[in-house]
Structure 1
Amino acid sequence: MSQKHGFGRGLTNYGDADFALYLRRSFARSMGISNELLGKPVVGIAMTPSGFNNCHRTMPELVEAVSRGILAAGALPRPFPTISLGEVFLNPTSMMFRNLMAMDTEEMVRAQPMDAVVLIGGCDKTVPAQLMGAVSANLPAIQVVTGPMTTGRHRGERLGACTDCRRFWGKFRGGEIDVDEIDLVEGRLSVTAGTCAVMGTASTMACISEVLGMSLPGTAAIPAVHAARLVAAEEAGKAAVALISRPVLPSQVVTEKSVENSFRVLMALGGSTNAIIHLTAVAGRAGVRVSMDRLNEISDETPVLVDLKPVGEGYMEDFYAAGGVGAVLRELRHLLHLDTINVEGRTLEERLAE
């Protein structure tokens, strides 16, 4: 056969393998796809929408934007669903389902005819699950995150989910505010789509994905409802097509050095402690073992640089305005491995030199 992946772009030997390709193409035609498009590379889009997951409420727009980028770059986008882990509504805990989602992602990427894949997720366990699946499948892959929500307002104060929710609930239980006040706050904690507005697990894993090199530079902190989020998704679609002709595999991106860089940035962010568990799992899929002694050394060596809740006072929209992950990387440059590469095939040193 002339083409191993995608829907196939030609028959050559007329053997059993070509019959399978012929059958595949005939079913693809039944989806209403022209011969012209069937002759192009195929990029899968692992999408995770759910009526139970506000973090992923913008998923249809993101899928459309990624598809736009893929088409513009000359390939055929094919969205496909996997399970979606909405942190707030899963019982007893979304951690029970992270590995299930990782398996779902890996097997669907392996099983379906695609040359590359774009993974779209955001909520806490979703991004690590997608990264785990992508590393195991080891097909050219790019992570796109849904982005954080923007803050609400209450009596002149900005509010965001998680940290502020617990704070006001504590005040209510302590009798400092009444039921009318807590009802008012309830409607002002989560006012847009997106992941939590603070440096919780979702935001931390978005940043780690960028540091690992699995997301495009500058994309981790863009708010979910910001127009730049859609532009970033479109660019990810274009980049995924570029990976087909110049493959950069997850196994080349997720390495001991990029994992160590990610742990260092985690410390500088004052990020989620859950990220240690998730990053260890992602690294494990790449055969990278994490030493607790080395993790402690990195912690001792690295200052906390980011003033975001729950460690500090700011929100993710402030982090984005201040330069996001790129700003932190520049501050930590002297402590980082600069020879790691990202999905574009560029080294961290090349990125920071820009």
Structure 2
Amino acid sequence: MSDENEKDPPSFRSAQWFGPADRNGFMHRSWMKNQGTPQRMFDGRPVIGICNTWSELTPCNGHFRQIAEHVKRGVIEAGGFPVEFPVMSLGETLLRPTAMLFRNLVSMDVEESIRANPIDGVVLLCGCDKTTPALVMGAASCDLPTIVVSGGPMLNGKFRGHDIGSGTSLFAMSEDVRAGKLSPEAFLDAEACMSRSAGHCMTMGTASTMACLVEALGLSLPQNGAIPAVDARRNTLANESGRRIVSMVREDLKLSKVLDRRSFENAIRINAAIGGSTNAIIHLLAIAGRIGVPLTLADFEAFGSAVPLLVDLLPSGRFLMEDFYYAGGLPAVWQALGDIVDGGAASVTGLSMGENNAGADCWNTEVIRTPENPVKPKAGIKVLRGNIAPDGAIIKPSAATPALMKHRGKAIVFEGLTDFRKRIDDPALDVDENSILVMRGVGLLGYPGMPEVGNMPLPRKLLERGIRDMVRISDARMSGTAYGTIVLHVAPEAAIGGPLALVQTGDIIELDVEAGRLHLDISEEEFARRQAEHKVAPAHPKGGYEQLFLQHVLQPDKGADFDFLVGCRGSAVADNAH
């Protein structure tokens, strides 16, 4: 982390704006001075952009103004010039129809904001689910020195003497209300008990998963993934990240020098070991596509399916992110995995990942297990294929019911979310615990945006009998905080003529997770007949961004990025037009 090999000031990108003694240089410096910027900030020091997703409409990121101030202090201490700028913020909790619809839009905002401005390096302030991949995707397309600072998880929820976790406990308590086991009044009381501090979900949902995975990719300082949002050490990490990005600029340590094939293979393995979200698949594929690293859905099978689940956290286990940090966080997981991960992968510290995590201790072997005593021996995402999902579907075995991992059942088909909500609690619905719930038309184009509705609530009449899990299949996503035997991301999706559109209520579906098989049990002749008769309904975009989305989004097995955004376009920009 030394400041050796400093470049001459004119070599910094920002010198194109602030260096010249001509009319344009005058204009650029003068306007910055109206904010009280002293002349010495234009003496050739690196300009560090702080990309902030703060918003009161994104509660997970509501404390980012404070974090940004700590980053700024670090930048100034290291001799840099910090400039904070906003981009669109994605809050999974409030944004409709789904935050995933706007992930690519935010990545465009980030990319163009970085490229168009006098920025030499960037600090990405990420929190709620889609903000992390969106910001990393945008930065990867520019390929400047970049470091990630996550906002951190909330403190553990506390309700009636027990810990409760965001999302996971919500889903469980909601089903208990529907089953008559929990009163609506108690359900309401739990709201404030669950979300009792700043920060994102404290379960191993998508936000915590992606915070851990940017650490596993080498894009953050050690312990970024788990420090609670309100722990003073989160602010310290922000300060140190501000200091480090200045050195990264002087070393020209760009994203493309950190991220390579080993980085993504490590992230896949870590995602399995921590019981991470299925959403990580789409996001890692998209990030890899931006930086130019080959990555496919099959890689998640090859590098993650045999990795043991070591972290005993909801929704796959018992504990929460606060406990994870106190137990040692991601460095302890890295150490426990040993040779399973590649310690030679690079990182933003300038050291290898192995060096970053050398000597890390585990302080609670109940929370972070060893490979000899795992929560589950094989926990990685399992890729399923068959005549329903020729381009793949996925399931998270660590969150599923073992008895349902090999299952044959009668399909109960729902045409989208409205139909599901209308019929699922109908006493006349012909469904039992062996049935398989199928929902289609909720993919990237079908909804649009691929919402987190794959974890369909069970029929009330089955909940009242004590049933708590069934096989569920859809072309939607699932919240990282959710659980159950749930098949997701069926590709190609039904809205573009994928075979999921051919399933009829009463059909027998076979699921065999170990064999990676998802099969509609009808004859080839019947399958061909249905295909020939099926008509794809034309899309009716409303114009604006939704039209752009529908015209250009790739399917989930390709990362759900826009076709025209894949690849790194670099940081070069046209000359000043003034």
Aligned pairs for 1:140-159 (under 5 A) are: 140-159=145-164
Residue from 167, 177, 186 that aligns with 1:181: 186
Query: Aligned Cα RMSD in Å?
Result: 1.5
Cα distance in 1 between the residues matched to 2:12 and 2:203: 44
Cα shift readout 1:165-201 (whole Å, capped 9, x = no counterpart): 1111111111112222111112211111111010000
Residue from 21, 29, 32 that aligns with 2:33: 29
Number of residue pairs aligned between Structure 1 and Structure 2: 349
Q: Confirm or deny: 8 A CA contact 2:223 2:331 kept in the other structure.
A: yes
Three-state SS of the structure 1 residue aligned to 2:10 is coil
The reply on whether 1:51 has 2:65 as its aligned counterpart is no
User: Counterpart of 1:331?
Assistant: 336
User: Counterpart of 1:108?
Assistant: 113
User: Counterpart of 2:289?
Assistant: 284
Cα distance in 2 between the residues matched to 1:162 and 1:243: 37
The Cα shift of 1:23 comes to: 2.5
Residue from 34, 37, 42 that aligns with 1:38: 42
Three-state SS of the structure 2 residue aligned to 1:46 is strand
Cα distance in 1 between the residues matched to 2:198 and 2:349: 29
Q: Confirm or deny: 8 A CA contact 1:3 1:9 kept in the other structure.
A: no
User: Counterpart of 2:13?
Assistant: 5
Three-state SS of the structure 2 residue aligned to 1:188 is helix
The reply on whether 1:64 has 2:72 as its aligned counterpart is no
Letter of the aligned partner of 1:136 in structure 2?
A: S
Three-state SS of the structure 1 residue aligned to 2:123 is strand
The reply on whether 1:125 has 2:133 as its aligned counterpart is no
Name whichever of 342-351 and 207-216 sits farther off. Answer: 342-351
Cα shift readout 1:7-36 (whole Å, capped 9, x = no counterpart): 65644xx6xxx5433321222223321111
CA, structure 1 residues 239+4, in 2 after alignment: closer, same or farther (shift >3 Å)?
A: closer
Cα distance in 2 between the residues matched to 1:292 and 1:181: 42
Letter of the aligned partner of 1:29 in structure 2?
A: K
Cα distance in 1 between the residues matched to 2:11 and 2:274: 44
Cα distance in 1 between the residues matched to 2:18 and 2:62: 36
Cα distance in 1 between the residues matched to 2:19 and 2:296: 49
Three-state SS of the structure 1 residue aligned to 2:125 is strand
The Cα shift of 1:3 comes to: 5.0
Aligned pairs for 1:296-307 (under 5 A) are: 296-307=301-312
The Cα shift of 1:38 comes to: 2.2
Q: Confirm or deny: 8 A CA contact 1:150 1:160 kept in the other structure.
A: no
User: Counterpart of 2:218?
Assistant: 213
The reply on whether 1:262 has 2:246 as its aligned counterpart is no
The reply on whether 1:73 has 2:78 as its aligned counterpart is yes
Q: Confirm or deny: 8 A CA contact 1:136 1:286 kept in the other structure.
A: yes
CA, structure 1 residues 274+10, in 2 after alignment: closer, same or farther (shift >3 Å)?
A: closer
Three-state SS of the structure 1 residue aligned to 2:94 is coil
The reply on whether 1:228 has 2:233 as its aligned counterpart is yes
* 5+ residue gaps, structure 2: 1-8, 360-578
The Cα shift of 1:42 comes to: 1.1
Letter of the aligned partner of 1:146 in structure 2?
A: G
Residue from 182, 193, 201 that aligns with 1:196: 201
CA, structure 1 residues 348+4, in 2 after alignment: closer, same or farther (shift >3 Å)?
A: closer
Letter of the aligned partner of 1:2 in structure 2?
A: P
Cα distance in 2 between the residues matched to 1:352 and 1:120: 23
The Cα shift of 1:223 comes to: 0.4
Name whichever of 203-212 and 245-254 sits farther off. Answer: 245-254
Three-state SS of the structure 2 residue aligned to 1:313 is coil
User: Counterpart of 2:572?
Assistant: none
Three-state SS of the structure 2 residue aligned to 1:43 is strand
The reply on whether 1:245 has 2:250 as its aligned counterpart is yes
Normalising by structure 2, we get a TM-score of: 0.59
Cα distance in 1 between the residues matched to 2:201 and 2:272: 19
Cα shift readout 1:70-128 (whole Å, capped 9, x = no counterpart): 11111111100001001110111100000011111111011110111101011000000
Higher helix share: 1
User: Counterpart of 2:313?
Assistant: 308
Three-state SS of the structure 2 residue aligned to 1:119 is strand
Cα distance in 1 between the residues matched to 2:14 and 2:180: 62
Letter of the aligned partner of 1:67 in structure 2?
A: K
* 5+ residue gaps, structure 1: none
Cα shift readout 1:202-227 (whole Å, capped 9, x = no counterpart): 00000000010111112210001111
Name whichever of 103-112 and 34-43 sits farther off. Answer: 34-43
Q: Confirm or deny: 8 A CA contact 2:157 2:166 kept in the other structure.
A: no
User: Percent identity of the aligned residues?
Assistant: 42
